[in-house]
Amino acid sequence: MVKRCFDLCIALPLFIICIPLFLIIALIIKTDSTGPVFYQQERIGRNKIPFFIYKFRTMFTGASKSGLLTVGGRDPRVTKSGYLLRKYKLDELPQLLNVIQGEMSLVGPRPEVQKYVDLYSPEQLQILLVKPGITDYASLEYSNENEILALSSDPESTYIREIMPAKLKLNLKYIKEKGINTDIKIILMTIRKVITGR
């Protein structure tokens, strides 16, 4: 209950404040390429309940059909505006609506698609006992995930065998430490990461 109040006290005012920014981003996206402003994708949330996550569209329409993973800093499927939105994490801002709706929290394990959740071990499935979040330890540690995958001859295998287990280990660490103080720490770390890149 305390976490829910914390999320709403930050997400709701921030969402209202960001409305002018949303309009500017929407205009840029529509000018840059054809297609919808927002991108929705089904992810698996708390207690294995699926929901649709909101993002600003950063790829050309239909690009996700060629793969779920984004590879490299200059994935050709990503639009010019999409590259900047991803770089500064602005594409994630619509997820404030997911938080307001109660599907997500500001801080928590990043939600995955069913394809990868099906590969979780019984221990790893514990992360589905809490709400997924916009940011977490794993997001901070693997902010350069795209570049790591770009160096692999088999990005899908590298993600499943190396990156995903490491991220899930960090997610389990969050569950052990979860609390308002931990959430505040991760939010501050995320802000610093976005601003300084470190």
The amino acid occupying position 156 is: E
- The confidence score (pLDDT) of residue 74 equals 65
User: For position 65, what pLDDT does the model report?
Assistant: 67
Q: Which pLDDT score, from 0 to 100, does residue 195 have?
A: 87
pLDDT in tens, 70-80: 775 567 889 99
CA dist 74 and 92 (Å) reads 18
Query: For the whole model, what pTM was predicted?
Result: 0.92
Read off the pLDDT band of 56 (50, 70, 90): very high
**For residue 9, pLDDT beyond 60:** yes
Query: Is residue 150 pLDDT above 90, yes or no?
Result: no
Q: What is the pLDDT of residues 162-186, one digit of tens each?
A: 999 999 999 999 999 999 999 999 9
Q: Work out the mean pLDDT of the chain and round it to a whole number.
A: 93
Q: What is the pLDDT of residue 197?
A: 77
Phi-psi label, residue 15: left if phi above 0, alpha if psi -120 to 50, beta otherwise: alpha
**Exposed, middle or buried by CB within 10 Å (0-12, 13-18, 19+), for 89?**
middle
By C-alpha distance, which of 89, 113, 120 is closest to 21? 89
Which one, of 115, 99, 112, lies nearest residue 138 by Cα? 112
Q: What is the mean pLDDT of residues 82-99?
A: 94
pLDDT of residue 92: 95
Q: How many CB atoms lie within 10 A of CB 161?
A: 11
